[in-house]
Every structure is written in structure tokens, then in C-alpha cells.
């Protein structure tokens, strides 16, 4: 068998050094990739910064879009509020105008209805009167016949009429006190009167009544008044009244209507 000769230690050491020497250039040749990696890192860092800038710009654009959308929404709301305000104002004006027109129409209708009611209501008062005797001496008792008539178009209910004698100044300015029903004078009537119908009431003026004044022929400062009143109701139970004022004129030897105080609760149609 042949033996392999051993390498001397020195040779081994030298061989190792040679290997090292051969290996060192490999390491030295491997160092340049570090510079490549540094360039790659810078490129990656640049891309990250660009991505960050892009993200920030996107966020800024989104915020700006939201602000613009909010401003547009606020503008739309402001327009809607203005439209609502003007619409409300127009509605209020229209309602006020309609209410004014309706009030005017209602007032006119009430006036027409009142006129209709006045035309349809009963009108009861003194139709005419007569004295007996027709020519009355200064100290002569006499009788007055009053005719109470309904000249309206509907019946009169609870018609109550009465008269009494009073003495007062010939030139009195205050209205006389028309007596309540049953306070002396004629007996109170209580009638139901159809339209265009009436009834008669008689009042006697005796010596006692004539004695209330001192010789009326010579005393022109006093008069003997015949005062009457008629109360009645219409079909709606609304109360109505008529005052009647007459006086005895000794100079004319007759009974005459007073210049005033012959009135009623409401002037009848035509002023009669």
C-alpha cells in the first residue's frame, strides 16, 4: 500500500493564508450591494413620502369637498327658509284679505237679514183715534177711542197697550214718563194680532182729569197729555214697543198728536 505524504505544518499555514487571501477579495467584492440597498431605501422612502403627500392631498380634497357640500346645503336651506318666509307672508296676506272680504260680505248679509227681518216683523202702533164729542169744551169730559193696529207682515204676540192722562208744561223738553202697564189709566190689553188687524181701546177723560189744570183755555203753560205705550213680541220672541203722545188742545177744542215722542224701538219701513 502506498502512503500519502503529510503536508508539513508550514505548508499548511501557508495554504491557509492563501485561502484567506483568496477569500478576502470575495468579501471586498460583496461590499458594493450595500450602496445598492441604500439607493433602494431612498427610493422606498421617497415613494412613502409621495404616498403620504398623496394621502394628505386626498384628505384635504375630501375636507374641501365636504365644506363645499356643507356650504351648498346651507345655501339650499337658506333658500328654502326664504321661500317659506315669503310663502307664509303671502298666505297670511291672502288669509287677511279673504277674512276682510268675508267680513264685508257677512256685514252686508247681516244688513240684508236685518232688513228682511224688519220687513217681516210686526209693526204695531196707533192707527188713528177719535174723540167723543168731536168738539170738546174747556170743562167738558170726553172719551178717546184708540185703534191699535198691526201694519206688519207677521203676527204680533203678547200685545199689551194702555193709556193714561197726565198734566205737564206745554213747552216741556224732557220726554214724558210713559207709564208701566196697569199704572192707572186704561186697563192693559193682552192681544194676539194678525197682520192688518187691530183692536180698539177707550179712555175717558173726566172732570177730575180736567181739574188737574187751571182752566186750560186761559193757561197756555200747561197741557193735558194722553200718554200711551204698546209692548209686543215678534215670532222670535224679540221685544218691541211703541210710545204714543197726544194732548188736549183747548184752543182747537180737540186732541192733537204731540210734535215728538211718538216713536218706536226701530223706525218701520217707509218711516210710517
- Mean pLDDT, rounded, for 159-178: 83
Domain boundaries, the chain: 14-120, 124-271
What's the per-residue H, E or C state across 178-205?
CCCCCCCCCCCCCEEECCCEEEEEEEEE
Are 148 and 127 in contact, with CB atoms under 8 Å apart? yes
Q: How far apart are CA 79 and CA 143, in angstroms?
A: 90
Q: What's the Cα-to-Cα distance from 199 to each of 160, 268, 269, rounded to whole Å?
A: 11, 20, 22
pLDDT tens digit string along 58-70?
888 888 888 888 8
Do residues 234 and 156 make contact, with C-beta atoms less than 8 angstroms apart? yes
Q: Which residue has the higher pLDDT, 226 or 44?
A: 226
With a CB cutoff of 8 Å and minimum separation 6, the contacts of 169 are: 221, 222, 223
The more confidently predicted of residues 186 and 28 is 186
pLDDT at 233: 92
Q: What is the pLDDT of residue 1?
A: 47
Per-residue confidence at 214, pLDDT binned at 50, 70, 90?
low
Homologous superfamily of 124-271 in CATH? Immunoglobulins (2.60.40.10)
The model's pLDDT over 220-257, given as tens digits with 9 standing for 90+, comes to: 577 888 888 899 999 889 999 999 999 888 777 888 89
In this prediction, residues 95-104 reach a mean pLDDT of 87
Q: How far apart are CA 200 and CA 132, in angstroms?
A: 14
pLDDT, residue 207, reads 81
pTM, whole model, 2 decimals?
0.54
Nearest to 158 by CA among 227, 235, 228: 235
Question: Backbone phi, then psi, for 206, in 5-degree steps?
Answer: -100, -175
pLDDT at 24 over 80: no
DSSP 141: -
Amino acid at each position: 500500500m502506498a502512503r500519502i505524504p503529510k503536508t508539513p505544518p508550514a505548508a499548511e499555514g501557508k495554504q491557509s493564508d492563501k485561502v484567506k487571501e483568496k477569500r478576502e477579495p470575495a468579501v471586498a467584492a460583496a461590499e458594493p450591494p450595500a450602496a445598492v440597498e441604500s439607493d433602494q431605501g431612498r427610493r422606498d422612502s421617497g415613494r412613502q413620502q409621495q404616498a403620504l403627500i398623496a394621502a394628505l392631498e386626498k384628505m384635504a380634497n375630501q375636507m374641501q369637498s365636504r365644506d363645499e357640500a356643507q356650504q351648498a346645503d346651507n345655501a339650499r336651506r337658506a333658500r328654502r327658509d326664504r321661500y317659506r318666509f315669503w310663502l307664509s307672508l303671502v298666505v297670511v296676506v291672502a288669509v287677511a284679505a279673504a277674512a276682510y272680504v268675508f267680513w264685508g260680505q257677512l256685514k252686508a248679509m247681516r244688513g240684508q237679514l236685518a232688513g228682511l227681518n224688519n220687513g217681516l216683523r210686526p209693526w204695531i202702533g196707533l192707527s188713528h183715534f177719535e174723540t167723543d164729542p168731536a168738539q170738546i169744551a174747556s170743562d167738558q169730559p170726553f172719551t178717546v177711542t184708540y185703534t191699535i193696529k198691526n201694519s206688519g207682515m207677521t203676527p204680533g204676540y203678547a200685545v199689551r197697550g194702555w193709556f193714561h192722562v197726565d198734566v205737564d208744561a206745554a213747552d216741556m223738553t224732557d220726554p214724558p214718563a210713559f207709564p208701566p202697564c196697569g199704572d192707572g189709566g186704561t186697563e192693559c190689553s193682552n192681544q194676539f194680532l194678525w197682520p192688518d188687524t187691530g183692536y180698539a181701546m177707550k179712555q175717558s177723560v173726566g172732570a177730575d182729569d180736567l181739574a188737574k189744570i187751571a182752566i186750560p183755555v186761559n193757561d197756555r203753560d200747561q197741557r193735558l197729555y194722553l200718554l200711551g205705550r204698546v209692548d209686543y213680541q215678534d215670532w222670535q220672541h224679540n221685544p218691541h214697543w211703541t210710545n204714543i203722545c197726544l194732548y188736549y188742545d183747548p184752543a182747537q177744542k180737540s186732541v192733537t198728536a204731540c210734535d215728538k215722542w211718538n216713536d218706536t224701538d226701530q223706525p218701520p219701513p217707509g218711516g210710517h
